Amino acid sequence: MKDKTKAGADTKTHKNDWLGGVLLFAVLIFIDQLTKALADAYQPQFDIIKGWLSITIVYNPGISFGLASDLSVGAKLAIVIGTAVIMAALSVAWFFVNRERRLVRTALVFIVAGGVGNLIDRVYYRVWELDNAEAALLHRGVRDMVDVSRFGFAVCNFADFFITAGAIMLVLSFLFFDAEAFFPVGKYKEMRDRQKQAEEEREKRKKAAETTGTGLAKPEPPQDGTEKDG
């Protein structure tokens, strides 16, 4: 009965995690596409922090942060196909990451949402057919609206921010905020210690079972009615 209850609870938790991941992905895609649509419709031009951060609209036939916009048709098609394959692989990987590794799972959702957000633009506007001049003239290409050129980047969008945030979360999880991190801290160090103790217990039980199997276990005491020496 307890096993059935535990199995039911695990199934419910797995379903909730799956729904949570899908919901977060949908929200991020919505934010990305909404901001792109608004920028495309209203063609804004204004400063948020003068000289540092501004809102504009450009159409980028390249990749994230305005990079590689002058690639050949073949290279752009390769980027589209490669992005689709990578996003699919990361989506599958999400299901194999332990539910306790929440930061890793969240990071994967951010990266996939960002990649898919820009992939939507690339496919819809057929960016492999465009160069920079055509993209600007026809209002086609990945729609970028946040100008961070002061920091050494070109104009970008929220999908780029999601990818960057996901990458940062992955690095932090691998370094500090995960039970399998190189330098786990706080509760993650406690989780690693518990996992280590559990592994040691499993090894002890395994060795005990192997010892029993070789006949080296302690003999049982004689039963009632068994003739004793003397």
Catalytic residues: 144, 160
Residue 154 · residue 145 · CB < 8 Å: no
Cβ neighbours of residue 49 under 8 Å, at least 6 residues apart?
A: none
Q: Which amino acid is at 175?
A: L
The first and second tokens of residue 164, run together, are 């960057």
Query: In Å, how far are 82, 102, 107, 202, 217 from 170, measured between CA atoms?
Result: 21, 11, 6, 30, 48
61 DSSP 8-state letter: S
- Cα first-last separation, the chain: 51
The first and second tokens of residue 20, run together, are 């949570």
The first and second tokens of residue 86, run together, are 């990578």
